[in-house]
Amino acid sequence: MTNHWADMQHCKAILVEGSNAAENHVMAMKWIRKAQENGAIIIHVDPRFTRTSAGADIFARIRPGADAAFLNAMINHILENKLYDQDYVETHTNALMIGNADFDFKDGLFSGYDEEGHKYKTDTWGYQLDGSGKPRHATSLDDPHCVFSTLRKFFARYTLEVGERMSGIPAAQIKLIAETMAKHRPGTILYALGMTQHTTAVQGIRAFTIFQLLLGNIGKPGGGVNALRGEPNVQGACDMAVLNNYMPGYLNYPVHTEPTLAAWTVNNGSLRRKYLVNTLKAFYGDAATAENEFCYAWLPKRNSAKDYSAYGIFESALAGNMKLLWIAGQNPAVSSPNLKLVFEALGNLETLVVQELWETETAAFWKRPGVDPKSVKTEVFLLPAAFFMEKQGTITNSGAMVQWRYKAVPPPGQAKPDGEIVDIVYRRVRDLLKDSTDPKDQIVKRAFWTYTTPEDVLREINGRALHDIPGTDLKAGTLASRIADLKADGSTSSGCWIYAGVFSKGENLSKRRDHRTDPGKLGLYPNFGWTWPNNMRVLYNRASCDRHGKPYPGSKPIVWWDEEAKRWTGYDVPDVPVITDGPNTPNGQRAFHMNAEGVARLFAAVYKDPEPASDDLWRDASYVPKDGPLPEMYEPVESPVENPMHPKVRNNPMLKYPRVGSIHQPIGTAKDFPYVLMTSTVAEHWCGGSTTRNNPWLNELMPEPVCEIPEVLGSKLSVKSGDWVKVSSARGEVEVKAVVTPRMQPLQIAGQQVIIVWMPYNWGFQGLSTGPSVNHLTIDAVDPGAGTQETKACLVNVVKVRDASARRSDPRGRRA
């Protein structure tokens, strides 16, 4: 999220695309409704008519995976009709920078495509530089060489008619949505899995960013691009490096070509080095010294050719390259796509440890329906874990707000909080290694590990001074109260730099609950919980002001330059590199100061600032999507239509699929599997369902999985609601009841009728309510950059099995 939940009340328009907020983010709905009461227009773009659509002013039905076509057509409409915010675009984006003359896009490929290496060479994706290595600037957006002209040319292909042909949304409605968003500013975009579970996930979100930047909607109250995150603490988990390619705080995880800290620093800059040093001090304490590069050598290095994601893990296990897998708080035997591969992989392990509340499908995979337990050699341990109300600690929400939660009841039986389980296992392993002289065991033996409570862990994450630090009020042991307190020389330690300040003057700010203090009446509540970084609530808020530091008219003032006090000030923490560097200085114009250019990037250029990096300011190379600097429409891996834009490059050219051969990862075609399957969750169950399917009341509300089909398909197959159907894909088949409904409707795509069906993914063979898992059908192709699975679009066939009156043949769910 760039903004935060309560901020949505300030929106004048809200585009909800790829999210069913009413059923999955009920608290978001509270603020969406408030905006609506204030006159905001709510737009919902979705393949299925849900409770979110029912509350919207405009509902547009889209084909799964065709969002880029719709968004690009809207962007083109904004550009062609000059509906953009010219001052914002010139001041706060790279629109005026001169692009590399050799950059090109042809037949679905950006310049630099290396077919053999299966990657892009990005040397034409940059700017023309002046003598000092800075991008050259045009004086007008009409300059044919500036980034803005590149944009105009690129998006010109996406007329409203092309948008309609590929997405299924009528041209007039695309125009209406673009003009509504342009007229009602500031507006926001809310998204979730409908956008991300695709092999073009990153590109779709890039299109959001471009659209919002053109409208001048980033950095303002009521603006932004807001990801509605899923699992309660998914934000906190990502912050703490649950993502396999990051250290805590999104520092790139060291790879094998970076054997030393010095080598890592060349690639990541000295600012990030400072934070990595703080993390290493938190990991290794006194063992980490400047002389030994803070024990950097002890970190195992990633092999950049290997896939360490959940998919890579199962593929390693499948190949017999993994002995032990420890799964905590995840139920992949229901929630991962292409379950056949997952089950086979689990069966190839020697040991599986499952740390759980229940004996889930994952823990019970060895006795799943249709399998003889004797044939599975994997030894399974089930460690009983405490649920959220049985332990204390923090949860970080989508707005990066860290909030403390208290224990309400003790855990049952032998169940323990996850932190305690990890602590027990760690100490036991350290004891076992006591006499080891193997250098690789140092990482365990010398770890700085002294925790007794979750709050100790949060203090370690926050960071502290290790010595008295001259010239500051930091004495040995003082907790850091902001990021700027962290030092580069090893005199401070901080487990996760972005959390520095969650403690202030010894107080745990995540426990604050002041819901009254609200300067500016913006809903910021600065004394409620604590948000990273530095308790800032709206990211990029400097961009809410013009080049002179004055708030743009039309949106509520949030920060501004105070000429008398000679500093940035306002209701929120100003998002500027130096608080006293005013709008007449280069720093004062860097509203997007983490980008090397200092401005937002309509075109995601390859660029590194030539100025020597400083310890305190961002002067960094910027992130460039692997699959191109501008968003292009590519078809899902399994799609019933060709790609009329570039038939030879139908799918994302950076896609790798199948990764382990077509036996394990087959691709179905429309000839055998004519319908598009879209999957999602339901209001009444939670994800893989182990918690909710063990609750009789919820089971009564939503007793079993179904396949929802449009009326045209119902008539074609002579299927009524309640009849049994077999749904099959190239990977498996399941038998469920059909629900024939007007919520699903066919779409006309490129002159042909496309039928979309829907299934929930919340069932499996364990618990009080059992039923077949839809993930037997789904495809495990992933986005090349983000690694998200394409569980929103694959091809299936649907055939009638028997009438409603017949019973399901296997009540525990049919095996694929």
**Which DSSP letter does residue 385 get?**
B
Of positions 122, 491, 531, 690, contacts ligand MGD by CB under 6 A = 690
- Contact with ligand MGD (CB under 6 A) among 72, 331, 508, 622: 331
φ and ψ at residue 271, rounded to 5 degrees: -65, -50
The enclosing H or E element of 485 equals none
Minimum CB–partner distance for residue 680 and Mo ion (Å):
10
Q: Which does 205 bind (CB under 5 to 8 A by kind): ligand MGD, Mo ion, none?
A: none
State which of residues 17, 85, 635, 780 lies at the interface with ligand MGD (CB under 6 A). 17
* 232 lines the binding site for Mo ion (CB under 5 A): no
Using CB positions, name the residue nearest to Mo ion: 230
Backbone angles phi, psi at 106, to 5 degrees: -145, 135
Q: What is the distance between the alpha carbons of residues 690 and 761, in angstroms, rounded to a whole number?
A: 12
> Coil, strand or helix: which one is 58?
strand
Helix locations, 500-556, DSSP H: none
- Residue 230 in the binding site for Mo ion (CB under 5 A): yes
81: CB partners within 8 A, 6+ apart: none
**Closer Cβ to Mo ion, 234 or 287, answer by number:** 234
Tokens of 434: 């006591």
403: enclosing H helix or E strand? strand 401-405
State residue 120 phi and psi, 5-degree precision. -95, 135
Q: Are the C-beta atoms of residues 8 and 188 closer than 8 Å to each other?
A: yes
Q: How far is Cα 788 from Cα 803, in angstroms, rounded to an integer? A: 37
- Of the candidates 557, 552, 578, the one whose C-alpha atom is nearest the C-alpha of residue 566 is 578
CB within 8 Å of 313: residues ≥ 6 apart: 322, 325
345 binds ligand MGD (CB under 6 A): no
The answer to whether the beta carbons of residues 729 and 795 sit under 8 Å apart is: yes
> Count residues contacting Mo ion (CB under 5 A)?
1
How is 95-114 classified by DSSP, letter by letter? Answer: TTBBBPTT--EETTEETTEE
Query: Do you find a cis peptide bond into 610, omega within 30 degrees of 0?
Result: no
CB of 686 to ligand MGD, least distance (A): 4
Residue 544 as a binder of ligand MGD (CB under 6 A): the answer is no
Give SS3 for 483. helix
* Ordered DSSP codes for 711-763: HHHHHHHT--TT-EEEEE-SS-EEEEEEEE-TTS--EEETTEEE-EEEEE---
Question: Interface with ligand MGD by CB under 6 A: which range of 424-432, 586-594, 680-688, 733-741?
Answer: 680-688
For ligand MGD, give the closer residue by CB, 50 or 462. 50
Counting contacts by CB under 5 A, is residue 384 touching Mo ion?
A: no
State how beta strands 246-247 and 251-252 pair: antiparallel
Please pick, from the candidates 454, 688, 767, 785, the single residue that binds ligand MGD as defined by CB under 6 A: 688
Q: From ligand MGD, Mo ion, none, which one binds at residue 192 (CB under 5 to 8 Å depending on kind)?
A: ligand MGD
Length of the chain: 816
542 makes contact, choosing from Mo ion, ligand MGD, none, with CB < 5 to 8 Å by partner type, with: none
Say which entry of Mo ion, ligand MGD, none residue 330 contacts (CB below 5 to 8 A, set by partner kind).
ligand MGD
654 touches, from ligand MGD, Mo ion, none (C-beta below 5 to 8 Å by class): none
Instruction: Provide CB contacts within 8 A for 97, sequence distance 6+.
Output: 127, 135, 136, 137, 138, 146, 147, 597, 605
- Regarding 8 and contact with ligand MGD (CB under 6 A), the answer is no
Site track 374-413 with ligand MGD (rule: CB under 6 A), x = hit: -----------x-xx-------------------------
The answer to whether 20 contacts ligand MGD (rule: CB under 6 A) is yes
- Looking at the Cβ atoms of 168 and 588, the one nearer to ligand MGD is 168
Could you say which of 683, 717, 750, 801 contacts ligand MGD (CB under 6 A)? 683
Beta pairing, strands 507-508 & 119-120: unpaired
Q: Which is nearer to ligand MGD, 47 or 551 (CB)?
A: 47
45 is a contact residue toward ligand MGD (CB under 6 A): yes
Site for ligand MGD in 180-219 (CB under 6 A): 192-194, 197
Least distance (Å) between residue 192 CB and Mo ion? 8
**Site for ligand MGD (CB under 6 A): which residue of 239, 356, 572, 632?**
356
Q: Least separation, in Å, of the C-beta of 230 and Mo ion? A: 3
For residue 705, the minimal CB distance to Mo ion (Å) is: 18
- Residue placing its CB nearer to Mo ion in the complex, 235 or 699: 235
Q: Closer to ligand MGD at the Cβ: 609 or 708?
A: 708
Q: Cβ of residue 759: shortest distance to Mo ion, in angstroms?
A: 17
Footprint on this chain of ligand MGD (rule: CB under 6 A): 17-20, 23-24, 45-48, 50, 62, 64-65, 67, 192-194, 197, 230-231, 328-332, 335, 355-358, 360, 385, 387-388, 418, 678-681, 683, 685-688, 690-691, 761, 774-775, 778, 791-792
Footprint on this chain of Mo ion (rule: CB under 5 A): 230
